[in-house]
Amino acid sequence: MARAIGSAATARPHSPLLLFAEAHIPKLHKNLLTMATNITFHAGSVSAEERSQLLTQKGATVWFTGLSASGKSTIACALEQHLLHLHKFAYRLDGDNIRFGLNKDLGFDEKSRNENIRRIGEVSKLFADASAIALTAFISPYRADRAVARELHDKAGLTFIEVFVDAPLSVVEERDPKGLYKKARAGEIKDFTGISAPYEAPESPEVHIKTDECDVKEAVARITEYLSSKGLI
């Protein structure tokens, strides 16, 4: 599955270098993380207040979570455009898109999913620190991983808004725009969330969107209203 999403291995499946990378890059990442000890954080001279004044907004991460085909990416795209029309700076980080670059070395097993979300938590925090509104659209199936992302923001004094994009499994299977549920049911895709891998729904999200009961326009309006109520835009 990982090769089908932006992997150079599709073009050269027998390349020894690529085979080595697939086998060892995750281990190399782990080693690099444990080796990085003699480092010092260098604080900048620009304050969060100065960035906020420049952009006339406060930074935040809007974290969309939900099953595949629940509507996360669709709502995030529409919200990004809507915020831009309001002259607010927002940037969308999409689950599939990220795997073409930053996370192309990761698969879909539990450990890879953990690392996928850890990286996105760090990246979205950087956007929020720059007073941008980061819109992250990832299945992010595990509560513990989402809690880690939230804690990163909390420790940095940044706003983290969890948006549960909720739709029953029967509904998302009927939508199935990429044909992934059909393949998962046929056993062609392993570790597929909702079928052969778990999804742990948020227990107390800031915003709960039921996409089988509302349209994209209404969803965008609700999230925008929440951002406004918190003084973020």
Residue 209's CB: how many other CB atoms inside 10 A? 24
Query: Which of the following is catalytic: 73, 124, 140, 228?
Result: 140
CA distance 66 to 191: 16
* Of 116, 64, 15, nearest in space to 222 by CA: 64
CA distance 164 to 64: 6
Q: Is 47 a known active-site residue?
A: no
What is the Cβ-side half-sphere exposure of residue 98, based on CA atoms within 13 angstroms? Answer: 24
Coil vs helix vs strand at 161: strand
CA distance 192 to 170: 15
Return the amino acid letter for 85.
Answer: H
What is the Cβ-side half-sphere exposure of residue 219, based on CA atoms within 13 angstroms? Answer: 25
What is the phi/psi pair of residue 67, to 5°? Answer: -65, 160
The full 3-state SS of 54-122, as one line of letters, equals HHCCCCEEEEEECCCCCCHHHHHHHHHHHHHHCCCCEEEEEHHHHCCCCCCCCCCCHHHHHHHHHHHHH
* Catalytically annotated residues: 140
